[in-house]
Amino acid sequence: MNPKVDDWRGRHVWIIGASTGIGAAVARLLMERGAHVAVSARRQRLLDAMIVGQPQAQAVALDVTDHATIVRARDRIMARWPRLDLVLIVAGGYNEMRADSFDLVAANRMIDLNLRGVCNCLDLLLPLLLRQGAGGIGIVSSVAGYGGLPKALAYGPTKAALINLCESLYCDLHGRGIAVYQINPGFVDTPLTAANDFAMPALMSPQAAARQLVRGIERGAFHIHFPKRFTNVMRVMRLLPYRCYFWLVRKVTKL
């Protein structure tokens, strides 16, 4: 559904949300494979440490909830680069929430970070990619966006919106030479999942997740999800009648 990537050498990749977790692991993997990588997140110190010994890399801090910082980051990066071959928007957050503890402030914070933050990035990236008539954009959502789950009252809807957003972007951009990647990880051992107090099926390391993500882009996939032994179960569950779906959710989560 997208062009295949046979060689990362010389490609210019901007990873937004690259200081920890999947974003950091993907950045390191692509630097090893010869890509020019720009890493962005809020903490400049962590970004600087990532690119030590990598003369082709850039570290530019930003906050996806602050439009002006993204403008400055884009301008700094593109002042050194001739083009942008791929941007990966990995930045996001998680807040456990259920109906009996609904918190409007926390819910709005999730919307600002996980959804509006992506829109802030798109506002600056889409015109650039459209002018190029080439390149690609990948957005990290989650299997939590496939269907409603306990403890995901605010997080899940933001990820469902990103899945829909990627589908709409593909409709608009595929015919204009721009690749779109919808990326839905399962449970990955990152700072976001460290506080979970429940069993996380098929938990992956960030390095394993990064390899799966990069392999999906190399194959030209649109829908990149991993680990498949878990994500495929979630996809099948979503096709079931609601009575069956909710019964399985209760059985599996014990919630």
How high is the pLDDT of residue 194?
65
Residue 158 Rama label (left phi>0; alpha psi -120 to 50; beta): alpha
pTM of this structure: 0.95
Return the biggest CA–CA distance within the chain.
56
The span from the CA of 50 to the CA of 44, in Å, is 10
Catalytic site positions: 155
Nearest C-alpha neighbor of 75 from the set 28, 111, 125, 120: 125
Under DSSP, is residue 46 helix (H, G, I), strand (E, B) or coil? Answer: helix
Per-residue pLDDT of the chain (255 residues), as tens digits, is 999 999 999 999 999 999 999 999 999 999 999 999 999 999 999 999 999 999 999 999 999 999 999 999 999 999 999 999 999 999 999 989 999 999 999 999 999 999 999 999 999 999 999 999 999 999 999 999 999 999 999 999 999 999 999 999 999 999 999 999 999 999 888 777 766 666 677 889 999 999 999 999 999 999 999 999 999 999 999 999 999 999 999 998 888
Nearest C-alpha neighbor of 130 from the set 181, 165, 174, 162: 174
Residue 60 tokens read as 């530019």
The span from the CA of 235 to the CA of 162, in Å, is 16
How high is the pLDDT of residue 187?
86
The span from the CA of 225 to the CA of 229, in Å, is 10
Domains within the chain, CATH numbers bracketed:
12-253 (3.40.50.720)
How high is the pLDDT of residue 254?
85
User: What DSSP string runs through 109-141?
Assistant: HHIIIIIIHHHHHHHHHHHHHHHHT--EEEEE-
Burial 14-23 (b: 16+ CB within 10 A, else e): bbbbbbbbbb
How high is the pLDDT of residue 190?
78
How high is the pLDDT of residue 201?
76
